[in-house]
Amino acid sequence: MFGVHWNRVKKHISRQRVVQLLAAAVFNGYVAGFAKGKIFTGGSKAVCVPVLNCYSCPGALGACPIGALQAELGSGRRRFPFYVLGTLMLFGVVLGRLVCGLLCPFGLVQDLLYKIPLPKLRVPGRLDRAGRYLKYLVLALLVVLLPLFVRGDMGVSVPFFCKYLCPAGTLGGGVPLLLGNPPLRQAAGGLFVWKLAVLLVIVLAAAVVCRPFCKYLCPLGAFYALFNRFSFYQMGLDRGKCVDCKKCERACPMGVEVTREINGAECIRCGKCREICPTGAISSGFSGGREKAGRAEKRG
């Protein structure tokens, strides 16, 4: 009986989902933090993880690279953030946006929200295309320029993205800390109400639009997108096998035109196109993922 049950469960749990759950557990493995309402302060907190994972999350074992980058740029020390940018570039060059598709906990949250049985919305093409550029503006303005040039009274800048926009930080850090600390709840003011409103809007949007934060607002996704076309990990399309059925494009959560730009900036390498392809024309990996040109063969 258990074997039959497990087989049914496996049919509904993809490899992508298993990796996402494991990554979320690894990056937020300090379980005692959630129970105590306290932030982990061990040595691993100095190491940047490759995903949005708030430093203030009680379970977080590492530092968020976007938060660390803002802290370095806004510190007033005028030092180039070699470590943070080097870490980001390493993951970008090796994996590209595979990080978004397989490792990001907030990506997992959005995927699960989209499973809610509600009518789904399709953002009009022109608005969708324009909206995709917003994440680059968020990266340039909130993560780099404002922390770099706008200083507070003590000569230290505000982490603008973390403070005013990041929903992952509110969900993983702000909410658990306030639930576990009554004094913090009393001290929470207008700023937390704003952040909670931002989180609520994105949560509601994610239930009807697939991964809206990844598509339109995530600065980390924008950074990794710059490396997508030449990262070591690639998707591949064998045009000799492709029958142009467009099933891959209908399955793509990011709305990528797979047959035209399979390794475009918006591809998060989730593997859904590969899984649904009826002819096995799509591949992925570190060696066999490059696009193969060829004439489509007539079958039958």
**Nearest CA to 151 among 57, 240, 77, 55?**
77
- The helix/strand/coil state of 298 is coil
Query: Within 10 A of 261 (CB to CB), how many other CB atoms are there?
Result: 15
Give backbone dihedrals phi and psi of 235, rounded to 5 degrees, phi first.
Answer: -95, 155
Give the C-alpha separation, 202 to 199, whole Å.
5
Amino acid at 156: V
CA proximity to 24, closest of 50, 47, 4: 50
CA atoms of 115 and 210, how far apart (whole Å): 9
pTM for the structure as a whole: 0.89
Closest of 223, 140, 205, 129 to residue 167, by C-alpha: 205
CB 28 within 8 A of CB 39: no
The DSSP 8-state label assigned to residue 288 in this structure reads S
Question: What are the start-end ranges of the E strands in 92-140?
Answer: none
Tell me how far CA of residue 53 lies from CA of 44, 106, 152, in angstroms.
13, 8, 25
Tell me the C-alpha distance between 109 and 166, whole Å: 14
Please name the residue that has the structure tokens 């494009």.
249
Beta bridge partners of 234: 285
pLDDT in tens, the chain (300 residues): 444 444 444 445 788 899 999 999 999 999 888 888 889 999 999 999 999 999 989 999 999 999 999 999 998 777 889 999 999 999 999 999 999 999 999 999 999 999 999 999 999 999 999 999 999 999 999 999 999 999 877 778 889 999 999 999 999 988 888 887 777 777 778 889 999 999 999 999 999 999 999 999 999 999 999 999 999 999 999 999 999 999 999 999 999 999 888 999 999 999 999 999 999 999 999 975 555 544 333 333
Q: What phi and psi values does residue 283 have, to the nearest 5 degrees?
A: -130, 170
Q: What is the model's pLDDT at position 152?
A: 75
